[in-house]
Structure 1
């Protein structure tokens, strides 16, 4: 006899909701995706800063057409954070610029990821908010991702933190380096607030209404210390509670990143639909004839001379951007369209000469890449690295290398 079917009722949906809640509170989802965002955004910002090194004074420094006094007045109105308005000296500007380069490099490598995410965010905001009229759209993506990365556990894989934690077998250890770095960050905050700045607007205004940047930074500093104390001296129930909050915050930030990418494409696509040049299929023709967007004039003119190619690329761009949020309902269609969009951004980088915009968007798109594909890509990169740079392999206990949780003070 066949076994009787279970009675229908609300238990099945309730069980699914319970499993989903347990997964969201019990693990950090999208570890590989957030690691790609961390590495990609840091690399893009670092590459940009290094390329613009000869032009840094004209872009963000004392020789900028957007003067220091104009930047101060603007930030006083829009409450944007930038450390460059604390002083108009050239030495302070050079310090902030070098600080941004170093913090981006260390974040890309995954060294003390939690701290470097905050420091890199400070560098991004300080430079971008100093001269808000610079950029090509990619700066907005870097700006947003720098904020969201602070809330993610983006160093769980593909980072020096993960390697260090794996070698320790997940034990926190004393971590003298983390303690010193945490103390230095606290001392820097004290110095920034007590330096006698005549316009300490950053202490009153912040990312949320009524919460200043000083409160946010001190809160992050306090949480880092609390995390280390709990991991070292109270690893039972208090550690479990902190883990739940960390998982929730990470997963919420990951969801916000995904929603942000969808909004970028949806708004861009729907605004294009309303433009007459996009409706008649000639929008791409015009930037191809602008010298500023023609690093390869022969290639640009060849494309613009073919009316069918211009028509297909114009309509294809709109169709892809409008359709992308809806393709998330089907994994296979989403993966195909994701590849098309990345190829499109590579074309924009090559034809229109917008490498940083394209790279920033490709990194943002990578948050939707399948985990299996990212794991295979990581394995391929690891094998290639071992062939090029052979090194002694070290034993990794219990947990797989690269997936151990980071339990250091500022890791």
Structure 2
């Protein structure tokens, strides 16, 4: 009995140390949240000055006093100028695009986190539940290896010759050096005066530099140990993300149970009557006119949210509830006009999707984009094979979905 337990324990330890779990799940979460941030910033681009910029009702002085009181992080309060705001806003959009494509995700994940925190903490009363989820997830993604598949980083690593370390990376080195110089300038200029954030950003910068040195000069045991540590951090963060999803739904469901409107089955009726959420008046009136539909939607929402953490114990029940919850969020986006809240929640739910479905989805996406990639490859011409490696027909196949 003890031998079987020891073997199971050894297998479990090996699973969480030898590899980063859920590579496809974390990749699709990365894509989902980067897309959500990008679409939101594009949608609010005409109103950006009123929401987060110099024309915001939450003025610069009020925001400064608020941030000084709670220690929140935002670079938008470093200077009260329109050019600085425009730079931060548009760099956040660029970081979202880079994360969506999986380009230099170790650096761009930190930049995206800085941009999202800066915007949200500049005007704290502009957000909703979806913004809270985005804030948490962009911080979690910094600690995950979310570009192992479906990314330009994975494509770049797959092109390297077998056994040859990826050390000749001038773009990565230049990016690391520029970000280090900016971090040093912010510290010396007194802009980054928080000890916690200084240690965090400085630590991330040093860790990335240490990782490059290990790959270049110590490919043996130090590389293995570094990989183990990175896998442990990734897997622990993935567990935190999954626990966060369960806490959000369980808390929402149990609080709803205590509300009288949720108990009598009429809670869904009232937001449909508010002008702010009444995007499709005819559809809302049709649904609100049926007491059976309103009751089913009200009780179904509560049951789904309360039952979700328990459904994780059964794969089929979990998959069914995932479909129901994603459909619910799509309904909220369409009927109540909350597309970005729904996108954030769907991107959060994706972490529980089965790998088989994600592989099928990736295959469909690859086949759909094959004509575009072939056309681009034809414009660029054939890519030379890495030194010492003969290029074959298989080498010319897309490597965007490979695990490096």
Provide closer, same or farther for how the CA distance between residues 336 and 359 of structure 1 changes in structure 2, counting only shifts above 3 A: same
The count of residues paired between Structure 1 and Structure 2 equals 387
Instruction: Tell me the residue number matched to 1:81.
Output: 73
CA distance in structure 2 between the partners assigned to 1:164 and 1:389 by the alignment: 15
8 Å CA contact 1:107–1:116 kept in 2: the answer is yes
3-state SS of the aligned residue for 1:28?
coil
3-state SS of the aligned residue for 2:209?
helix
3-state SS of the aligned residue for 1:64?
coil
Pairing 1:402–2:394 present? no
Instruction: Tell me the residue number matched to 1:175.
Output: 169
| Shift >4 Å, 4+ stretches | 391-395, 397-401
Instruction: Tell me the residue number matched to 1:233.
Output: 217
Provide closer, same or farther for how the CA distance between residues 388 and 189 of structure 1 changes in structure 2, counting only shifts above 3 A: closer
Unaligned runs of at least 5 residues, structure 2 = 384-393
Q: Which of 305, 317, 321 does residue 333 from structure 1 map onto?
A: 317
Q: Which of 53, 65, 69 does residue 61 from structure 1 map onto?
A: 53
8 Å CA contact 1:166–1:397 kept in 2: the answer is no
Question: What are the within-5 Å matches in structure 2 for residues 237-252 of structure 1?
Answer: 237-252=221-236
3-state SS of the aligned residue for 1:215?
helix
Provide closer, same or farther for how the CA distance between residues 165 and 345 of structure 1 changes in structure 2, counting only shifts above 3 A: same
Question: What are the within-5 Å matches in structure 2 for residues 245-394 of structure 1?
Answer: 245-391=229-375, 392=377
8 Å CA contact 1:166–1:399 kept in 2: the answer is no
CA distance in structure 2 between the partners assigned to 1:164 and 1:385 by the alignment: 18
Q: Which of 122, 129, 145 does residue 130 from structure 1 map onto?
A: 122
8 Å CA contact 2:269–2:288 kept in 1: the answer is yes
Instruction: Tell me the residue number matched to 1:208.
Output: none
CA distance in structure 2 between the partners assigned to 1:194 and 1:15 by the alignment: 53
CA distance in structure 1 between the partners assigned to 2:240 and 2:403 by the alignment: 25
Q: Residue 400 of structure 1: CA displacement?
A: 6.6
8 Å CA contact 1:28–1:153 kept in 2: the answer is yes
1:54-94, Cα deviation, whole Å (9 max, x unpaired): 00000000100111111111111111100011111111111
Instruction: Tell me the residue number matched to 1:153.
Output: 145
Provide closer, same or farther for how the CA distance between residues 277 and 236 of structure 1 changes in structure 2, counting only shifts above 3 A: same
Instruction: Tell me the residue number matched to 1:10.
Output: 2
1:253-292, Cα deviation, whole Å (9 max, x unpaired): 0000000000000000000000000000000111000010
TM-score (norm 2): 0.93
8 Å CA contact 2:150–2:400 kept in 1: the answer is no
3-state SS of the aligned residue for 1:177?
helix
Unaligned runs of at least 5 residues, structure 1 = 1-8, 205-211, 406-411
Q: Which of 178, 181, 196 does residue 184 from structure 1 map onto?
A: 178
8 Å CA contact 1:169–1:396 kept in 2: the answer is no
CA distance in structure 2 between the partners assigned to 1:224 and 1:59 by the alignment: 34
3-state SS of the aligned residue for 2:268?
helix
CA distance in structure 1 between the partners assigned to 2:128 and 2:340 by the alignment: 8
8 Å CA contact 1:110–1:158 kept in 2: the answer is yes
8 Å CA contact 1:169–1:399 kept in 2: the answer is no
8 Å CA contact 1:37–1:367 kept in 2: the answer is yes
- Between stretches 274-283 and 188-197, larger displacement belongs to 188-197
3-state SS of the aligned residue for 1:62?
coil
CA distance in structure 2 between the partners assigned to 1:334 and 1:342 by the alignment: 12
CA distance in structure 2 between the partners assigned to 1:169 and 1:353 by the alignment: 50
Pairing 1:194–2:193 present? no
